[in-house]
Amino acid sequence: MTNKEVAQILYEIAEILEILGEIPFKIGAYQKAGGVIESMAEDINELASGGPSKLKKLPGVGAHLADRIYQLVTTGHMDYYEEIKKKVPSGLVDLIRVPGLGPKKAKLIYDELGITSIEDVEAAAKEHKIRDLKGMGAKTEENILDSIAQYYKHHERIMLADAYPIAISVIEKLKEQAFVKKADLAGSLRRFKSTIGDIDILATGETEKIMDYFCTMPEVNRVLAKGKTKSAIIHHSGLEIDLRVVKENEYGAALQYFTGSKEHSVALRGIAKKAGLKLSEYGVFEADTDKKVAGITEEEVYKTLGMPYIIPQLRENKGEIEAALENRLPQVIEQSDIRGDLHVHTKDSHGANSLEEMVIKAIELGYEYIAINDHGEKLHIAGGLSAKELLGQVDRIKELNEKYKEITILSSCETNIDNDGNIDYEDDVLAALDMVSASIHGGFGQSKEQITKRMIKAIENPYVKMICHPTGAVLNKRSPYQLDLEAIFDAAYNNNTVLELNSFPNRLDLNDDYLKRAKEIGVKIAINTDAHTTGQMDYMFYGVVTAQRGWLERDDVVNCWPLDQVLNYFA
């Protein structure tokens, strides 16, 4: 079993326990363990091969849980999971996955209407059968319908982080084969869009052998189509992978074509035409003679069209072609430019690892600084820290700064912006921190004016240096709350308040378009992971590629700066 598959079962157990009305501590243990296993670099099978005691070393995993995970990983079966699954109808578990239907509402709908599918809930809501249930009402019914509509709208697309590692592993396997000369990612995944439709791979080599191999790999669940130059499979993760095999001397042109975006390629073809050329997936040709002038490499294709190479992240026809022609493409940031992470949690609030473990991980990543951002006191559901606890953490951070000279640990707090735009704690507590961040965690349904006002008040608060996950969007799950982003950007710029690019794979908030706009206004961005486990600190990768899509350069990203410069900006 893969780490992800194990994590999914643990999440499902948490959901079942929630329906069964178990205590939050127990539910949280399964959620946390799922998060740790999903994001850790180590293979769960390898870890389990050392016995249950090795699993017990995972943060938050006790003896019972270790035994259960051990059984699952080594046998593919978990007695406990099978046992509790029998206690709830499977449809009910599906139901609570519908956003807007927590376990309580799902159970009520199930008990009263005997419904077990999303489709049936939708039908019942449309027939107004839900509003009369105890504690529901017309408003709730409307909300449920909205949530279902959103669920359908977002559900088909796959999150970058779910697809990328799988695509890379398939490409690596292909490249190991003697009959494969080249293999590369293409499509939206190569452009690092935050969600993708399917995985596209391009290869060149011995065509027939490549197709045979691709369609019979052990990880193939189902072959959708097998052709001479194009095949499509369903990988056992459920993802669709398209593979195209092209001639070696057309590889560059094909890679350009199949990377897209379509809009980018269409615009390129316009440029080619004006220059008396023809661009296709087979190469660049002189229009009048059909003589081939480029096609082996992508660089050559762009060069022939009179421009420097454009990285895939920028290929959306959003100004990159004009910029390339005028030689003013952005020098986008690289992974190696990142000097620190300004938003991580510890188990003091609802993270899984200790403060020191997070610091050690930051040192391993080569960071110069890290800011600890546990939740503020009012966010009870996320284990928010009381003023006393927070000040205690500040003291421990001072000690750790003594112990680990190679890094600077900043004390911070992810305070909650309440319905009036106020944040947690008295001023003297805030003053004891190195920085303060703030974010919205509730009141999502308020009007645009109200939410914008709340956030601007926080931005103007002299203690607040950074706004986290600014739009509140959760990919495949929740649309952004109503927000006048232009006003937010202006306020952030005027107050030297940094906006976050949250790298958590289901957020990537601010998104690429907003980042580009923020940069134009002069707003500074911090690319943070919001990690709740040490493993999640590796999510920085997804933030950086998103920042590249947003045209961000070193000057735009505060955590590409030396610490002095960051603190100066805050001051």
Q: Which two tokens stand for residue 568?
A: 């100066």
Which residue minimizes CB distance to ligand DGT? 260
237 binds ligand DGT (CB under 6 A): no
3-state helix, strand, coil in the chain (%, to 5): 50, 15, 35
Contact between 192 and ligand DGT by CB under 6 A: the answer reads no
262 binds ligand DGT (CB under 6 A): yes
Q: Please, which residue, 270 or 366, has the CB nearer to ligand DGT?
A: 270
Cis peptide before 261 (omega within 30 of 0): yes
Does position 18 interact with Zn ion (CB under 5 A)? The reply is no
- Exactly one of 89, 91, 197, 442 binds ligand DGT (CB under 6 A); that residue is 197
Q: Is 83 exposed, middle or buried (0-12, 13-18, 19+ CB in 10 A)?
A: exposed
Q: Measuring CA to CA, which residue among 334, 283, 327 is closest to residue 308?
A: 327
If DSSP codes are grouped into helix, strand and coil, which group holds residue 6? helix
- Distance, in Å, from the CA atom of 148 to the CA atom of 125, rounded to the nearest integer, reads 10
Nearer Cβ to ligand DGT, position 315 or 469?
A: 315
Alpha-carbon span 559 to 337, nearest angstrom = 8
Please give the single-letter amino acid code of residue 69: I
Judged by DSSP in three states, 171 sits in helix
CA–CA distances in Å: residue 60 to residues 16, 34, 256: 19, 10, 46
Query: From the list 47, 196, 499, 552, which residue makes contact with ligand DGT (rule: CB under 6 A)?
Result: 196
What's the one-letter identity of residue 161? Answer: A
Taking CB under 6 A as the criterion, the residue among 265, 304, 497, 548 binding ligand DGT is 265
For position 231 contacting ligand DGT by CB under 6 A, the verdict is: no
> Applying CB under 6 A, which of residues 59, 60, 103, 260 lies at the interface with ligand DGT?
260
Choosing from 2, 74, 150, 261, the residue that interacts with ligand DGT (CB under 6 A) is: 261
For Zn ion, which residue of 15, 298, 300, 414 counts as binding (CB under 5 A)?
414
Segment interacting with Zn ion (CB under 5 A) among 2-10, 127-135, 254-262, 529-537: 529-537
**Of 71-79, 223-231, 255-263, 531-539: span binding ligand DGT (CB under 6 A):** 255-263
> Could you tell me the smallest distance in angstroms from the CB atom of residue 203 to ligand DGT?
15
Q: Give the residue with the Cβ less far from Zn ion, 38 or 414.
A: 414
280 is a contact residue toward ligand DGT (CB under 6 A): no
* Nearest distance in Å: CB 317, Ca ion: 17
Contacts of 435 (CB under 8 A, 6+ apart): 342, 371, 410, 411, 412, 465, 466, 570
If you ran DSSP here, which 8-state letter would residue 282 be given?
T
How many other C-beta atoms are found inside a 10 Å radius of the C-beta of residue 176? 9
Q: Does 252 bind ligand DGT (CB under 6 A)?
A: no
Q: Which two tokens stand for residue 452?
A: 């914008």
Is 258 a binding residue for ligand DGT by CB under 6 A? The answer is yes
User: Does the footprint of ligand DGT cover residue 313 (CB under 6 A)?
Assistant: no
Shortest CB 257 distance to ligand DGT, Å: 6
| Total binding residues toward ligand DGT, as defined by CB under 6 A | 14
**Least distance (Å) from Ca ion to the CB of residue 221?**
17
Shortest Cβ 293–Zn ion spacing (Å): 52
Which residue in 146, 162, 198, 206 binds ligand DGT (CB under 6 A)?
A: 198
Query: Whose Cβ is closer to Zn ion: residue 89's or residue 443's?
Result: 443
Can residue 256 be called a binding residue for ligand DGT (CB under 6 A)?
no
Do the Cβ atoms of 362 and 338 come closer than 8 Å?
Answer: no
To ligand DGT, the closest distance from the beta carbon of 410 in angstroms equals: 38
CA atoms of 424 and 413, how far apart (whole Å): 9
Pick one of ligand DGT, Zn ion, Ca ion, none as the site partner of residue 260 (Cβ within 5 to 8 A by kind): ligand DGT
Instruction: Say if CB 243 and CB 231 are below 8 A apart.
Output: yes
Closer to ligand DGT at the Cβ: 26 or 157? 157
Q: How far is the CB of 561 from Ca ion (least distance, A)?
A: 35
DSSP per-residue codes, 391-440 = HHHHHHHHHHHHH-TTSEEEE--EEE--TTS--SS-HHHHHTSS-EEEE-
Give me 385's structure tokens.
């820290």
Q: Please tell me whether residue 348 binds Zn ion under the rule CB under 5 A.
A: no
Each residue 482-501 as x (binds Zn ion by CB under 5 A) or -, in order, gives --------------------
Identify which range of 32-40, 67-75, 259-267, 401-409 contacts ligand DGT by CB under 6 A. Answer: 259-267
Cα(241)–Cα(315) distance, integer angstroms? 21
Among 188, 346, 452, 502, contact with ligand DGT (rule: CB under 6 A): 188
Largest CA distance in the chain: 79
One DSSP character per residue, 199-231 reads EEEEEEE-HHHHHHHHHH-TTEEEEEEE-SSEE
Strand partners, 330: none
Enumerate binding residues for Zn ion (CB under 5 A). 414, 530
Q: Please give the residue ranges that form the binding site for ligand DGT (CB under 6 A).
A: 187-188, 193, 196-198, 200, 257-258, 260-262, 265-266
